[in-house]
Amino acid sequence: NAGVTQTPKFQVLKTGQSMTLQCAQDMNHEYMSWYRQDPGMGLRLIHYSVGAGITDQGEVPNGYNVSRSTTEDFPLRLLSAAPSQTSVYFCASRPRRGQSEQFFGPGTRLTVL
Amino acid sequence: AQSVAQPEDQVNVAEGNPLTVKCTYSVSGNPYLFWYVQYPNRGLQFLLKYITGDNLVKGSYGFEAEFNKSQTSFHLKKPSALVSDSALYFCAVRVLNRDDKIIFGKGTRLHILP
């Protein structure tokens, strides 16, 4: 199993550009989440999904869109990048039921100039 | 509101000494509690979890954590620190409601001094 994979690892954008951060998992997990990590702020939940076709907003959803067309994939879209979106982004997945922990991807470091 | 607090931004411990990284939580009901570790330029790795049962749980790399319901705490401990334990540690709580989210603390940077 590859676990949770994220692409790209690094990205530099100019203000106003759009891009999609990819996330995929091969563990058949229903629950997937996107977090951003900023110094002194910990991990903040952006969006999450409890299964294919279902998404919901987390703590800091503004400026981001998500979709969940398959169980495996959960892309995060930045429609018009802003410097405030400079951060490290982590995707995570877990089974929806039971007592399992979350599994994290390696992260994407995004810089918006 | 549901929350997780890690009151120390940084903890410094001499190698070989015991270490404690503090975590308190505020959630309704009986939460699931987790500790994760993040090494530089890496993702988060799971260390241990408390679901139910024995208040002292053991995890990876010799770490353990003690659940205290009356103090709503879940402190991470290790009897003898190693320099390689230096990393960023996150406490997290799974809120068992309709949203079923996992909320993270802000993290504590652990420095083990040789």
Between strands A19-25 and A4-7, the pairing is antiparallel
Is B101 close to A35, i.e. CB distance below 8 A? Answer: no
Is the predicted pLDDT of residue A109 greater than 80, yes or no? yes
Q: What is the pLDDT of residue B95?
A: 83
> How does the average pLDDT of chain B come out, rounded?
93
Region A83-110 average pLDDT:
93
Q: What is the pLDDT of residue A83?
A: 97
Region A66-88 average pLDDT:
97
Q: Which residues contact B47 (CB under 8 A, 6 or more apart)?
A: B34, B35, B36, B37, B59, B60, B61, B63, B76, B89
B22 touches chain A (CB under 8 A): no
Q: Which residues of chain A are within 8 Å of residue B105 when distances are taken between CB atoms?
A: 42
A19 touches chain B (CB under 8 A): no
Q: What is the pLDDT of residue B40?
A: 87
* CA–CA gap between residue B43 and residue B38 (Å, rounded): 6
> Is residue B61 classed as helix, strand or coil in its secondary structure?
helix
Which of A34, A43, A48 is the best substitution to test chain B (most B C-beta atoms within 10 A)? A43
Q: What is the pLDDT of residue B28?
A: 82
Is A107 close to B43, i.e. CB distance below 8 A? Answer: yes
